Chain A
Amino acid sequence: MSTKKIEFNPETLALCHKIMKRYPEGKHKSALIPILHIAQAEFDGWLSPETMDYVASILKIQPIEVFEVASFYSMFNLKPIGKCMLEVCRTAPCWLNGADELVAYLEKKLGIKVGETTKDGMFTIKTVECLGSCGTAPMLQCGAKYYENLTNEKTDEMIENLRKENKQQTYTAY
């Protein structure tokens, strides 16, 4: 894990202030979730207490206001994760079309169980609820990207490509 200082560069900070201006005067707390996404992407894919405190300082709100939000939403990771978090949809439409088999295949291929991270820190497997990709099941999300209609072959290819990219996959596309 990197030990970089928890502070945005000037461009990212300017982006945060631009996002805060989307909301009426005095209502800039609305920007909390968008800024948490930026912070998570910037600082290794998870929100450490230091990161959350830093976000609180930008928005000029109490740290507890950040934590209560960060702990509510499933996309915010409060613990470190692998570079590539494979979020497999497990809800019924995907289950009907092989979600359980996809999870089993990933577990076998990567040698880890759901909720675990590979020793090299590359992959974490997580099961998630409906991602709105029911017509293209089974599927998973990694970073902002959807991998749909997955077969074992397509899964292998995806894993290989993610290994080659070898970078933190994040949701943020700002």
Chain B
Amino acid sequence: MGRKLLIEHVHVPGIETLEVYRSKGGYASVEKALKTMSPEAVVEEVKKSGLRGRGGAGFPTGMKWSFLAKPPGVARYLVCNADESEPGTFKDRYLMEKIPHALIEGMITSSYALGAHTSYIYIRGEYFYVARILEQAIEEAYAAGWLGKNILGSGYDLDLYVHIGAGAYICGEETALLESLEGKRGNPRIKPPFPAIAGLYGCPTVVNNVETIAAIVPIVNEGGDEYAKIGIGKSTGTKLISASGHLNKPGVYEIEMNISVEEFIYSDEYCGGISGGKKLKACVPGGSSVPILPADLLLTTANGDKRMMTYESLSDGGFATGSMMGSGGFIAYNETACIVRSTWNFSRFYHHESCGQCSPCREGTGWMEKILHRLENGHGKMEDIDLLWDIQRKIEGNTICPLGDAAAWPVAAAIRHFREEFEYHVKYPEKVKDPNHFHKQSFISSKQSVTI
């Protein structure tokens, strides 16, 4: 049984209230930081912890914090990215809904470390009811003196607000999020300058994911060195994984980053195996933007090592034979799933969510969606597969923000690993006209199937 640092008390009745949260040791990190540590000392602990951004990019949090410019007389901001919209990801919603004070505590301790006196939690509009839960918790925290003026007599002031979005995946990109928070369309900004120099209202700003902020609590409480002892290599600490798709026990799991993918899928402690007594066919291990892997490469790297649930192991082999940890949105596909249909579904998503600023993304995502739609419905040609490859190549790296890459990678990986299946759709148009064409007779090449 792995250690749980974030959701250990998730099943304690009343944990959403300040009283119960306090009884489980809540807000200790605020007391420790404000009473005994300088802001710089908090940043130092975060650096030592090796914590990496949990939103998807995996950038070291301590380093991101240390880039924050501190010109005198200029406000600095901490903005929490709660715009969780990456398909397959629902861990932040779970954390905020079940233990709202964990995020608020993390926001206070982190704001103190960064010298921010006003902080915002930008939450996606669809999570309106979660925003209400957070607002109630914030009210409780103000009433008890954890927020507001002169917190714990330390002289430190902080105001914390929830800001609600209105439905736009792109606002998870940090500069689009800041535009949206300023009351504009969510068009990503050209970088540099990075938000650490010119972010919200042109002021130095740090944007961190919900889970990243929540992880600051155990890091301050136990020390960065202790936190770094969990996990393997540069994958320190615990990670929340949102498991979905064809699994017996989908849901949110907190894992120590030292277990294998195989254990995560098949052990009863976690997902409990593939649903319906079927075989695992493929998996998108880190949210829709990361490359899909066939079962064999998911469980074992190209070098023959057991693949682990760590940043390094999941990306072992690069895009040729690996994938990414991403946001930890773990989507499993059994043998009845059609990879062409899944890829079309994702392309439709990116086309819908492209903000329209950059032509390669605005146009390219639509072209990919159309071509995949005709392939999936039995109207495709062999050249379409190469055309798709060509389009995704021309989107990747040619856009202001990473949405272009995120739209290109799933298409590239699907063709790379499942070309046979694309060709099948061209060769047997009659067979693929039924949308559930692989339900009766699965399509799974021998090298892709794994029996456990």
The verdict on B272 contacting chain A, using a C-beta distance below 8 Å, is no
The complex places the Cα of A31 from the Cα of B251 at a distance, in Å, of 34
Near A by CB (< 8 A), chain B positions 341-393 give 341-342, 345-346, 349, 352-353, 355
| Residues of chain A within 8 A of B331, CB atoms compared | 92-93, 96, 134
**Nearest CB of chain A from residue B218's CB, rounded to whole Å:** 24
In the complex the two chains form, is B168's CB within 8 Å of A24's CB? no
The verdict on B337 contacting chain A, using a C-beta distance below 8 Å, is yes
Which of A32-40, A105-113, A115-123, A159-167 lines the interface with chain B?
A: A32-40
| Residues of chain B within 8 A of A145, CB atoms compared | 129
The verdict on B106 contacting chain A, using a C-beta distance below 8 Å, is no
In the complex the two chains form, is B88's CB within 8 Å of A134's CB? yes
Near A by CB (< 8 A), chain B positions 119-159 give 124-129, 131-132, 159
The verdict on B181 contacting chain A, using a C-beta distance below 8 Å, is yes
Mask, A28-68, CB within 8 Å of B = 1, is 01111110110000000000000000000001000001001
Near A by CB (< 8 A), chain B positions 50-102 give 75, 84-90, 92-93
**Nearest CB of chain A from residue B231's CB, rounded to whole Å:** 24
The verdict on B252 contacting chain A, using a C-beta distance below 8 Å, is yes
The verdict on B428 contacting chain A, using a C-beta distance below 8 Å, is no
Size bracket of the A interface? 35 or more
In the complex the two chains form, is A37's CB within 8 Å of B164's CB? yes
**Nearest CB of chain A from residue B165's CB, rounded to whole Å:** 7
Question: Which residue from chain B places its CB closest to the CB of A172 in the assembled complex?
Answer: B128
Size bracket of the B interface? 35 or more
In the complex the two chains form, is B87's CB within 8 Å of A130's CB? yes
In the complex the two chains form, is A73's CB within 8 Å of B167's CB? yes
Tell me which of B85, B159, B183, B252 contacts A30 (CB under 8 A).
B183
The complex places the Cα of A68 from the Cα of B329 at a distance, in Å, of 32
In the complex the two chains form, is A69's CB within 8 Å of B128's CB? no
Question: Do A132 and B90 form a contact, CB below 8 Å, given A96-B245, A137-B244?
Answer: yes
The verdict on A135 contacting chain B, using a C-beta distance below 8 Å, is yes
| Residues of chain A within 8 A of B85, CB atoms compared | 129-130, 132
Q: Taking chain B's interface residues, is the majority helix, strand, or loop, or is none over half, making it mixed? A: mixed
| Residues of chain A within 8 A of B246, CB atoms compared | 96-97
In the complex the two chains form, is B342's CB within 8 Å of A92's CB? yes
In the complex the two chains form, is B185's CB within 8 Å of A96's CB? no
| Residues of chain B within 8 A of A144, CB atoms compared | 128-129, 132
The complex places the Cα of A133 from the Cα of B92 at a distance, in Å, of 11
The complex places the Cα of A33 from the Cα of B83 at a distance, in Å, of 14
In the complex the two chains form, is B166's CB within 8 Å of A75's CB? yes
| Residues of chain B within 8 A of A90, CB atoms compared | 345
The complex places the Cα of A69 from the Cα of B184 at a distance, in Å, of 6
| Residues of chain B within 8 A of A33, CB atoms compared | 125, 163-166, 180, 183
The complex places the Cα of A49 from the Cα of B346 at a distance, in Å, of 33
| Residues of chain B within 8 A of A34, CB atoms compared | 163-164
The verdict on B258 contacting chain A, using a C-beta distance below 8 Å, is no
The complex places the Cα of A53 from the Cα of B419 at a distance, in Å, of 52
| Residues of chain B within 8 A of A69, CB atoms compared | 183-185
Number of residue pairs across A and B with beta carbons under 8 Å? 153
Question: Which residue from chain A places its CB closest to the CB of B171 in the assembled complex?
Answer: A73
In the complex the two chains form, is A37's CB within 8 Å of B242's CB? no
Question: Which residue from chain A places its CB closest to the CB of B124 in the assembled complex?
Answer: A132
**Nearest CB of chain A from residue B116's CB, rounded to whole Å:** 12
The verdict on B182 contacting chain A, using a C-beta distance below 8 Å, is yes
In the complex the two chains form, is A135's CB within 8 Å of B87's CB? no
The complex places the Cα of A146 from the Cα of B329 at a distance, in Å, of 20
The complex places the Cα of A94 from the Cα of B58 at a distance, in Å, of 26
| Residues of chain A within 8 A of B166, CB atoms compared | 33, 36-37, 73-76
In the complex the two chains form, is A73's CB within 8 Å of B125's CB? yes
The complex places the Cα of A135 from the Cα of B93 at a distance, in Å, of 12
In the complex the two chains form, is B84's CB within 8 Å of A132's CB? yes
Mask, B302-334, CB within 8 Å of A = 1, is 000000000000000000000000000101010
In the complex the two chains form, is B349's CB within 8 Å of A130's CB? yes
Tell me which of B93, B186, B333, B435 contacts A96 (CB under 8 A).
B333
Question: Do A30 and B163 form a contact, CB below 8 Å, given A72-B185, A172-B128?
Answer: yes
The verdict on A152 contacting chain B, using a C-beta distance below 8 Å, is no
The verdict on B118 contacting chain A, using a C-beta distance below 8 Å, is yes
| Residues of chain A within 8 A of B333, CB atoms compared | 96
| Residues of chain B within 8 A of A78, CB atoms compared | none
In the complex the two chains form, is A92's CB within 8 Å of B164's CB? no
The verdict on A6 contacting chain B, using a C-beta distance below 8 Å, is no
In the complex the two chains form, is B126's CB within 8 Å of A91's CB? no
In the complex the two chains form, is B345's CB within 8 Å of A95's CB? yes
Mask, A120-143, CB within 8 Å of B = 1, is 000000001111111111000100
Tell me which of A27, A100, A134 contacts B242 (CB under 8 A).
A134
**Nearest CB of chain A from residue B201's CB, rounded to whole Å:** 6
Question: Do A92 and B87 form a contact, CB below 8 Å, given A135-B244, A171-B125?
Answer: yes
Query: Mind listing 11 A-B residue pairs with CB under 8 Å?
Result: A27-B201, A33-B125, A33-B180, A73-B125, A95-B345, A96-B342, A132-B85, A134-B244, A135-B251, A144-B129, A146-B129
Identify the A interface with B (CB < 8 A).
22, 24, 27, 29-34, 36-37, 59, 65, 68-69, 72-76, 90-93, 95-97, 100, 128-137, 141, 144-146, 171-173
Known A73-B165, A96-B337; 20 more pairs at CB < 8 Å:
A29-B184, A32-B183, A33-B164, A37-B125, A69-B184, A76-B167, A92-B349, A93-B245, A96-B331, A96-B333, A129-B353, A130-B87, A130-B88, A131-B126, A132-B90, A132-B92, A132-B127, A134-B242, A134-B245, A137-B250
